[in-house]
Structure 1
């Protein structure tokens, strides 16, 4: 599909090229959702522009279907690679159907006369993205989450093998972020597309992606399944600040400082969230004899710190009590 070997990307000036990232090697495969992650300024957008033929590569090889990207015209690339950017759509007078059908322009030209086959492709894109119920609405009448699905449908109408999305979940609420990423996974698998998503949404990316590409300043691109990268510790390459670390046990990014928990007994799920609240509060129990016992039906936390014994009916109440005590703070 799409393949790069020792790729150097950046901006070409008259005097000398300005590389943004070097030594990039990767392969984008059909039927898989790939997520590109890395800090701001590392070159993710530059890489996308290079793949789209908008920037010349500085060195190395970048090929599509065993043919150099540079040998494709923009019209040819538009038939093979569809892209959804973060730019705001201002065509409020268009209907959803009209915007989706614009995805056929690389095949029909700007006159946009749709053949019966074109119309079938438009209908298929609307069906795949599950937006039949808003097909006749104007763009000004739909939500941001719905609009993102419409933009994905338009990209599908280009009928290319590759779909690239630049931060498609930015500015969306939690439910829509999950819906969009799971939709993209369905598209990759069911429509056999190579889907590349630039994202900072690590939690959702871990849940949905088949492959991670990790970009980091001054180092080659690292790729692999999210699970392999987590177990190998390579996921921390996207966290250049040593204050943060990815905890493979709970699947979250957290502060790398050591923290001592008090002795807590009870249901493991409730113990986990009590510990979460205590750690977040900054309370350190390294020199404490406090013991906590979590009871159920009704929920309560029995607190023992001889000779003191107390009962709390919420985690908030417990944390408030401890915060007012003389317990060592970080």
Structure 2
């Protein structure tokens, strides 16, 4: 029986993230080490304000790292020019799009921007890819609707579809299940898992939904200020990595049920 071969898509080595303010360095988190392979769905979890969004912005080169190394498809992130990077990774931030007056089809077609000519005309292959993405994300019936007419869950699917249309090996998403009820949270994460498995794309997303991440993700990065833990859910549970994530006077992690309980 053949085993599926994968390759490293994004890797960090002793990464330190944060901000420079004049001559002062504000470290948000450090000693971050992980290695995400093709076809993997990976969650970034941690307490509020720990730097999950900062990490995703750093991985997408929207802000500089403080130190350490980021390798994207075995090449240092710093070596990519903007147009090259747009063909390697796509990112969905919590801000969404500047205007929701665009149709679903128009927003998804924006994902082809790194490949179009200078006036933005879509080729036949671009159009075919957009049609495939519409089908795969279940948005065919909504393609002519304006984005302001959509529910939060539908709009989130559109943003994922736009990233998918960009056709990159890596997709980064900042809290894609925010404002969704439990059904639609599970729906979106199941959709992401299916995309990762069927397209061999790597998907890394930040989330507060640790229970869902434990059930659906291939690997999890537990982000903390002085250290990070990375591995499969089973490995992290066995290592006790979730036990010190929150203050134990109120919440504790039960490894038997793989869930947090109120004390």
Q: Which residue number in structure 2 is paired with residue 245 of structure 1? A: 252
Cα RMSD after superposing both structures: 1.6
Query: TM-score under structure 2 normalisation?
Result: 0.91
Q: Distance in 2 between matches of 1:114 and 1:56?
A: 33
Cα 1:90/1:18, change in 2 over 3 Å: closer
Q: Which has the larger radius of gyration?
A: 1
Q: Distance in 2 between matches of 1:225 and 1:199?
A: 16
- Mean Cα displacement is larger for which, 106-115 or 124-133? 106-115
Once the two structures are superposed, residues 98-141 of structure 1 have per-residue CA deviations (whole angstroms, 9 ceiling, x without a partner) of 11001111111563200011111111211221111111222122
Among 233, 236, 239, which residue is 2:240 paired with?
233
Unaligned runs of 5+ in 1: 257-330
Unaligned runs of 5+ in 2: 1-8
Are the equivalent residues in 1 in contact too, given 2:96–2:159 (CA < 8 A)? Answer: no
Q: Which residue number in structure 2 is paired with residue 129 of structure 1? A: 137
Q: Which residue number in structure 1 is paired with residue 16 of structure 2? A: 8
Q: Distance in 1 between matches of 2:186 and 2:51?
A: 25
Q: Distance in 2 between matches of 1:32 and 1:83?
A: 16
1:240: Cα distance to partner? 3.5
Once the two structures are superposed, residues 153-198 of structure 1 have per-residue CA deviations (whole angstroms, 9 ceiling, x without a partner) of 1001111000111000000111111100000000110010110010
Secondary structure of residue in 2 paired with 1:165: strand
Q: Which residue number in structure 2 is paired with residue 270 of structure 1? A: none
1:57: Cα distance to partner? 1.6
Once the two structures are superposed, residues 272-296 of structure 1 have per-residue CA deviations (whole angstroms, 9 ceiling, x without a partner) of xxxxxxxxxxxxxxxxxxxxxxxxx
Q: Following superposition, which runs of at least 4 residues in structure 1 exceed 4 angstroms of deviation?
A: none
Q: Which residue number in structure 2 is paired with residue 22 of structure 1? A: 30
Q: Distance in 1 between matches of 2:99 and 2:22?
A: 38
Q: Distance in 1 between matches of 2:101 and 2:61?
A: 31
How many residue pairs were aligned? 255
Q: Which structure has more RCO (C-alpha within 8 Å, separation ≥ 6)?
A: 2
Q: Which residue number in structure 2 is paired with residue 113 of structure 1? A: 121
1:90: Cα distance to partner? 5.2
Cα 1:122/1:38, change in 2 over 3 Å: same
